Chains A and B, each alone.
Chain A
Amino acid sequence: ETGVTQSPTHLIKTRGQQVTLRCSSQSGHNTVSWYQQALGQGPQFIFQYYREEENGRGNFPPRFSGLQFPNYSSELNVNALELDDSALYLCASSYGLATSTDTQYFGPGTRLTVL
């Protein structure tokens, strides 16, 4: 167990709706990263937050947004859902140190289905 939890486990939404996914990082981990994993693909980086500020973003449109809170919890929000947003959404936490030993630990993911 990595100590990283995510909720909900599964979610079904319809096209055009909005969704909020939640993550609870390991205590002491100041960085949270979110990834999207489509079926049969590796995880793709969405964005990263460090101490409640966005610290890097991948090739995802602005309708993907996030928040990080002081209590090591974070959210991924997706507006105007599209069918292609169906995927496993993973959060990963790390200390946020620019050292070789800093490692990202993943939660179990939230499986989102958009109909």
Chain B
Amino acid sequence: QKEVEQDPGPLSVPEGAIVSLNCTYSNSAFQYFMWYRQYSRKGPELLMYTYSSGNKEDGRFTAQVDKSSKYISLFIRDSQPSDSATYLCAMKRQGNEKLTFGTGTRLTIIP
């Protein structure tokens, strides 16, 4: 079993819809949770960074962490065609540890 599970999709939604992306994990030592966006043939770009349980909002993006369920989510409101990319969840333990990634979800926003 992988430490981090993420539905690879692909996921296609119409422009303007709310997108929900999710990851589950098994290692209770993970304390820091990130979402990266990766366009085709590019490196991952950090979108959201959260610590422990709770919500964090940044513009159209909201990240949620539920440590009791070992479940994290990323919501995208008013989705745009430019949001079409692969979204990777990542997490790490205390300190400057390695990042453990999900497989990524490929998202397409249809104009």
With both beta carbons as reference points, the residue of chain B lying nearest to A102 in the complex is identified as: B96
Q: A56 and B45: CB pair below 8 A?
A: no
Closest to B50 in A: A100
B6 contacts which chain A residues (CB < 8 A)? 42
| Inter-subunit contact A41/B103 (CB<8 Å) | yes
Q: Give the residue of A6, A43, A96 whose beta carbon is less than 8 angstroms from that of B99.
A: A43
B-facing residues in A23-72 (Cβ within 8 Å):
31, 33, 35, 40-45, 48, 50, 55-56, 58
B25-77: which residues lie under 8 A (CB-CB) from chain A? 31-32, 34, 36, 41-46, 49, 51
The smallest C-beta distance from B43 to any residue of chain A, in angstroms, reads 4
Task: Indicate whether A90 sits within 8 Å of B96 (C-beta atoms), given known contacts A42-B6, A43-B101.
Answer: no
Chain A interfacial residues counted at CB < 8 A:
33
Partner of A42, one of B43, B46, B88: B88
Which residues from chain B contact A113 at a C-beta distance below 8 Å? none
Q: How far is the CB of A64 from chain B (nearest CB, A)?
A: 14
Please tell me the size bucket of the interface on B.
20 to 34
> A86 near B: Cβ within 8 Å?
no
Given contacts A42-B6, A103-B46, 20 further A-B contacts (CB under 8 A): A2-B43, A40-B104, A41-B104, A42-B101, A42-B103, A43-B88, A43-B99, A43-B101, A45-B99, A55-B96, A90-B43, A90-B44, A100-B31, A100-B32, A103-B34, A106-B44, A107-B43, A108-B43, A109-B42, A111-B41
Q: Which residues on B are within 8 Å of A, measured CB to CB?
A: 4, 6, 8, 31-32, 34, 36, 41-46, 49, 51, 88, 90, 94-104
State the 10 A-B residue pairs at the shortest beta-carbon distance, nearest first.
A42-B101, A106-B43, A45-B98, A98-B95, A108-B43, A106-B44, A42-B103, A100-B51, A109-B43, A43-B101
